[in-house]
Structure 1
Amino acid sequence: HHSIMSLDGMKERTILLDGFSKTYAMTGWRMGYGVMRADLATHIARLMTNSNSCTASFSQIAGIEALCGPQDSVDAMRAEFKKRRDVMVAGLNKIKGFSCRAPHGAFYVFPNITQTGWTSKKLADALLEEAGVAALSGTAFGAFGEGYLRFSVANSIENIEKALERISAWAAKNL
């Protein structure tokens, strides 16, 4: 992955917005940051001050420590999520009607389920009620999400494998 800001002439034309939720496991802290030209930062700061409540100072200090501190835990977490993703993608691709590509930057997978003959909502509901596996209907992300489900891989490999077994058993009976 290469930031667009690393390309010639793009640094002054780009606003980079990011957060701490996924990279630093700080979900719920609702913190983010921006990198931009100084003249834009003044306007953005004014906008943020008037549209958001103040973030607690201890959260801001934790964010600074996350950015400036050692990154080994980030690398280890990224490697672990890659393993989990690979297990989930391989497992889903073995199930009739599912086709899944490996995502490059999230701890979710978004398999295509159009070959199942089920709508996203009905399949997500059936998997939850009948197999005990939670998935989000692709339509939760808009009309173009029809034909897809979203599964999280923010769980242990053992639990991901159990979920895949349940989905596979359900599919064998219902697809």
Structure 2
Amino acid sequence: MYFAALLARTEDGWEASDTELDDVETLADLADLARDAATDDEETVLVFIEQEDAWFGVVRVDGEEDPRIYVSDATAAARSSYGEILLTDELLGREPGDDDGTDVDALDLDGTEDGEPEDAEEPSDDLGESVPAGPVGDLGLLADLGVSEKDLATLDSGDALGELAGLLGAEDVLEGVR
């Protein structure tokens, strides 16, 4: 299970709406969804995503600027289709197109490399090499909204979004869409 909500900062305070991510395939799609939730082109919109209390992510979209991202646990998020949207090459410090090092063009249809015996060890699914353990992203993305880097880094994944909304003064509006 996942939970996703949009928090738009307006002149009157925070407005929240729950959102479905079924049609979101990329970070650009997610940013467009956030921009559509804004009533003013310059508004700050936060996208909160939480997956089964295992990890949470915050995406900040300010107008047409590039989205800023924080993910509480990259390894857990990498196992989620919604987490994969947030874990961009840039966020993970990889060159675009880098993957686990497997050259897909050099694989036979059975998944073995050309000339490699079929009983050779399978490529590892270990995410440790390509995805760092723990939090990744911009710890300062909410500093101007009153949430320090330390506050963000020490949130417990159990009810992190509720705690975060409380720090932002938006707990009631977030709870209204849960």
> Common fold, TM-score beyond 0.5?
no
Q: Quickly name the TM-score band, shorter chain normalised.
A: under 0.3
Greater gyration radius: 1
TM-score by length of 1: 0.20
Q: Answer 1 or 2: which has greater strand percent.
A: 2
Q: Which has the higher contact order (CA 8 A, sep 6+)?
A: 2
